[in-house]
Amino acid sequence: MVSVTIVANPYKLLAALLIVTVLHCFVALRSEAQRLPDEEVRTLRQISEKLNNTYWKKLSPDSCTKKDLNRNFDSPTMLSNVTCNCSFNQSTVCHVTNIQLKSLNLTGVLPEEFGDLPYLTEIDLVLNYINGSIPVSWARIPLVTISLLGNRISGSIPEALGNIETLEELILEDNQLGGKLPPKLGNLSRLRRL
Ligand SMILES: *[C@@H]1O[C@H](CO)[C@@H](O)[C@H](O)[C@H]1NC(C)=O
Ligand SMILES: *[C@@H]1O[C@H](CO)[C@@H](O)[C@H](O)[C@H]1NC(C)=O
Ligand SMILES: *[C@@H]1O[C@H](CO)[C@@H](O)[C@H](O)[C@H]1NC(C)=O
Ligand SMILES: *[C@@H]1O[C@H](CO)[C@@H](O)[C@H](O)[C@H]1NC(C)=O
Ligand SMILES: *[C@@H]1O[C@H](CO)[C@@H](O)[C@H](O)[C@H]1NC(C)=O
Ligand SMILES: *[C@@H]1O[C@H](CO)[C@@H](O)[C@H](O)[C@H]1NC(C)=O
Ligand SMILES: *[C@@H]1O[C@H](CO)[C@@H](O)[C@H](O)[C@H]1NC(C)=O
């Protein structure tokens, strides 16, 4: 019925095309409008370089909506997963909230730049070959989960981690950490797993 009407009336066909085009633009604008701030894109690029990460090649301000930093593999233990919250500034601004890079054979040094992502709640880098020590800069962001299981992290656990009041999970096993457990961790009232 519908197609017959459209073919029979060229004006209706034009109108239909116009509506489709307008809708298409609207959808495009909407997703275009949800962008990561340039500082966060720059920070993600620095993190990626430090970890010799080849899975974030398409990184851009639109990476949250395009999900082009996410990658699944045959094995569910291997994963690149970056999650954002795009409801800031009337749903025009995204901020990175979760980063999971699991079993990706990442090398390099644990990036202090995670501390420059002000809305980041999760750093999960399990089962890679990352070295370096845990940066004090991480203490300035509202982390809920830190998981570094199965890497080559050395040095001691910084006392500053005891200031991350939001912290619920601190998973550090199978690394080369040394030193004493800072007593200040006892002040983390939400800590469930250590
Ligand atoms: C980075 O990764 C590439 C390819 O996976 C590898 O050839 C290179 O040696 C790595 N560089 C470092 C510094 O680990
Ligand atoms: C990616 O991370 C988010 C936030 O932690 C989580 O809800 C989601 O299930 C993850 N996606 C995959 C494929 O694991
Ligand atoms: C995203 O951020 C907004 C504003 O801070 C907050 O209200 C909302 O709960 C967040 N959404 C999620 C899924 O965390
Ligand atoms: C979002 O809004 C905040 C507070 O009004 C402002 O400081 C910030 O610059 C805005 N961000 C962007 C990317 O427009
Ligand atoms: C990591 O390296 C191992 C051994 O070389 C390989 O089997 C595996 O597929 C690699 N993982 C990724 C995500 O490239
Ligand atoms: C950490 O790993 C990088 C590359 O994988 C290497 O160049 C560097 O020497 C290592 N640093 C330490 C302290 O082991
Ligand atoms: C733990 O917090 C309490 C009150 O916030 C403070 O008095 C105490 O000094 C803190 N302990 C450590 C080891 O930082």
Residue 118 belongs to some domain of the structure? yes
**Amino acid code (one letter) for 165:** E
Cβ-contact 146, 170 below 8 angstroms: yes
Residue 84 belongs to some domain of the structure? yes
pLDDT of residue 8: 52
Give the pLDDT confidence of 115-159 residue by residue, as tens digits.
Answer: 999 999 999 999 999 999 999 999 999 999 999 999 999 999 999
Write out the residue range of the structural domain in which residue 59 sits: 36-187
Give pTM, 2 decimals. Answer: 0.85
The verdict on the CB of residue 78 being under 6 Å from ligand 5 is yes
Residue of the CA atom closest to atom 6 of ligand 6? 108
Residue 134 belongs to some domain of the structure? yes
Residue 168 belongs to some domain of the structure? yes
- Give me the CATH number covering residue 153: 3.80.10.10
Per-residue pLDDT of the chain (194 residues; tens, 9 = 90+): 444 444 456 666 566 655 555 555 455 555 457 999 999 999 999 999 999 999 999 999 999 999 999 999 999 899 999 999 999 999 999 999 999 999 999 999 999 999 999 999 999 999 999 999 999 999 999 999 999 999 999 999 999 999 999 999 999 999 999 999 999 999 999 999 99
Residue of the CA atom closest to atom 7 of ligand 3? 87
pLDDT of residue 7: 47
Phi, psi of 86 (to 5 degrees): -105, 25
Residue 48 belongs to some domain of the structure? yes
pLDDT of residue 9: 66
Q: Cα(187) to centroid of ligand 7, in Å?
A: 6
Name the closest ligand to CA 76.
2
Number of folded domains that form the chain: 1
pLDDT of residue 33: 79
Q: In testing the pocket of ligand 6, which one of 49, 54, 109 has its CB within 8 Å of the most ligand atoms?
A: 109
